[in-house]
A and B are shown apart, each in its own frame.
Chain A
Amino acid sequence: MEIRLDGFSFQYVSSQPTVVSEVSVAVASGACCAILGPTGAGKTTLLLAISGALGAQHSSGTGRGEISVGPHVFRPMPDKVLFPQVGLCLQEPQIMISGLRDTVYDEIKFSLENISVDPELHEEQIVSVMERLGIQHLRDRKPFTLSGGELQRLTLATLLVVQPPVLLLDEPGNSLDDDALSRLVRILRQLRGRTTVLFSDNQPDLAILAADSILIMEDGEVISFGDKKSFLKNLGEFKSSLPVRKWQDVIRVLSRSSSLRAKRVKKRFGLA
């Protein structure tokens, strides 16, 4: 499902500056787009708006422009949560755990129950999503005893089990260790082509590894939007809002080197 924003703006309180202003972007169906920027750039607000959670809070401010999710056009934004068409994972994965179910398996099942799908008929679906995310061994664990990385995979599982055409992730790379991060990259790559993914981050690593296009925001405005190639080419322009210094070094070394190893790195991380 394609996601399109046309001149979308939003402010919580009319006396305060807009948190998102005049954002116009389009993410093709099945593509993965990273939204990068520092704190207060408006990344979370944007994701909440697309998910419908922002519009569902009645007294939460005013929006302009429009948001399209697939064939549906919302002006200025959806006024109710679009689950199961759109799944949004909030920043802290533990907040996404319902607290109503005792095991990892039941927690995933809970999402199916909510959309009135008889979960007994979909055990296969639950098992397959657990396997895909590598959490089948945690099946009977209590959700709250999981580690950060495990909790994040469970949260993803609770969303992916309903096969949403659009998946939104708010800063999924935060506080993940190396293993968890590369696992997340693998999951995002698996989703490519099937699920439209938008994720936010305040640093570029995950975007460089997994995104097709990159949107950079600062103070609610779009600084740049383009494919990964143009982002890497112009890294220096973003040094005031993102920690890109080390990546600049990497790109510089790569562009100068023609060794086999450099070629392999380029290929593996899509830095060519």
Chain B
Amino acid sequence: MRFGTASKFALSATLALLAFFLPWQASLVLFLCVVILEIFSDTYKPISAPAHKAFLRFLAYLVSLGLFMVFINGLLIEGDDDACIILGLSFYPDGLAFGLNVACRLMLLSSAILLFFVSTPIKIFADLLGYFGLPQKIISIILLTTFYLEQLPARIRQIFWSQEARGAPIKGNFILRIRSFFSILSPLVLSSLVESVNRGMALELRGFRGQVPPSRPRDVRDFRLAYLILSTSFVLLLWQVWK
């Protein structure tokens, strides 16, 4: 079964929210769930292979950061209990617990947010925002920016080629690279400016004034599920506050 974008968003938001008040053991379990969802679930299938790779790289970074936090906190934050000696270093149990708490929360929070964006094309996300009432002008800006960013790597590569073919020492040492930087950045900025003026004119020529009525969301299905998830997390939040 595949969830719609709204449910996906609700689930990710809930997981991120839970990170603020669950104990570290639960956060850790949910973090593992996020990883499993990203790899095995159909709903959270990454939009592309590079997106998947970036997600895994980010996870590795998160885990090492988490371990580092546990290490530092365990070493520095003294508590009431006696320190235990591991490999000649003295770690305090309270510090370790605090480190674990912060680390697991951070891991759950960031991975849950990333999980949504790794598996949702920006265009569909923009549709969702439009559905929830974000002005079309802002959505158009988001979409045009995405469109531009999508083309950016190919553009930069072509500029590299063009300048290298004229002898620019782009792959030389640091100083040379700094000097060539201008010859790469400048065509990018200049041609982008020209293109954005032309593209603006082209959009105007097609009657676009930034106020297209929102198109029907492409993948915004099963709102009931989304509301269920969101209300559950809301109840959890209330319970936490009351406690």
Contact = CB atoms under 8 A, between A and B. Distances in A.
Partners in one complex: yes
Contact of B207 (A56, A83, A92): A83
A115 B207 contact: yes
Contact of B208 (A51, A90, A106, A114): A114
A95 B206 contact: no
A98 interface: yes
A213 to B, nearest CB: 24
A99 B147 contact: yes
A83 B147 contact: no
Interface string A93-120: 0011011101000100011011110000
In this complex, the interface size class of chain B, counting residues with CB under 8 Å from chain A, is 20 to 34
Interface stretch (B32-40, B89-97, B193-201, B230-238): B193-201
Contacts of A87: 205
Q: Which of B143, B203, B209 has the most CB of A within 10 A?
A: B203
Contact of A96 (B140, B202, B207, B215): B202
Interface in A123-178: 158-159, 162
Contacts of B215: 106, 113
Q: Chain B binding site: helix, strand, loop or mixed by DSSP? A: helix
B212 interface: yes
Contacts of B199: 95, 99
B51 interface: no
A81 interface: yes
A102 B123 contact: yes
Contact of A110 (B123, B201, B204, B206): B206
A100 B204 contact: no
B205 A83 contact: yes
Interface in A50-109: 51, 53, 56-57, 81, 83-84, 87-88, 90, 92, 95-96, 98-100, 102, 106
